[in-house]
Structure 1
Amino acid sequence: MDEERREPAKPAAEHVTCARCGSTADGGTAPPTWVFSVENGRRQYLCDACSRAHIRSIEGRLDSAWW
């Protein structure tokens, strides 16, 4: 029996997106200068510019809706 073998399709390159400004980082991982938090069971990333602008709120563990 001849079966046609197909390799699984490769997933498209993933992008990590900032939850505040929408900037993206190429690759499947965020750069080391980005931060992330888990809100409502979902991981959210913040770029370095947004994390610097909101560092006191982040350290105070305020919900992102407050800032």
Structure 2
Amino acid sequence: MSDAAGEERPVCATCGSTPADPEAAALARLTWSRGTENGREVWTCAACSRRHLRSIEGKLDPAWW
């Protein structure tokens, strides 16, 4: 889904939610988590990030700790 500025709105890779309007999309780019999987950009909404925090931390390289 694109907003008026032509940018793609993020879609949560976990639950599939997407911001409702361009203002929410701008806020999502600040509050959602962005990652790269297999060379593509993936987004995780704030709710899913909180819900799955332990799993996300468990996948980090030990060098982060």
Q: TM-score with structure 2 length normalisation? A: 0.62
> Which one has the largest radius of gyration?
1
Q: TM-score with structure 1 length normalisation? A: 0.60
* Structure 2 unmatched runs, 5+: 61-65
* Structure 1 unmatched runs, 5+: 1-11, 63-67
> Quick one: which of 54, 61, 64 aligns to 2:52?
54
- Aligned residue pair count: 51
Structure 1: which 4+ aligned runs deviate by more than 3 Å? Answer: 26-31
User: What is the alpha-carbon root mean square deviation over aligned residues?
Assistant: 2.0
Say which structure, 1 or 2, has more relative contact order (CA 8 Å, 6+ apart). 2
Considering fraction of residues, name the structure with more helix.
Answer: 2
Identity rate of aligned residues, in percent?
53
Considering fraction of residues, name the structure with more strand.
Answer: 1
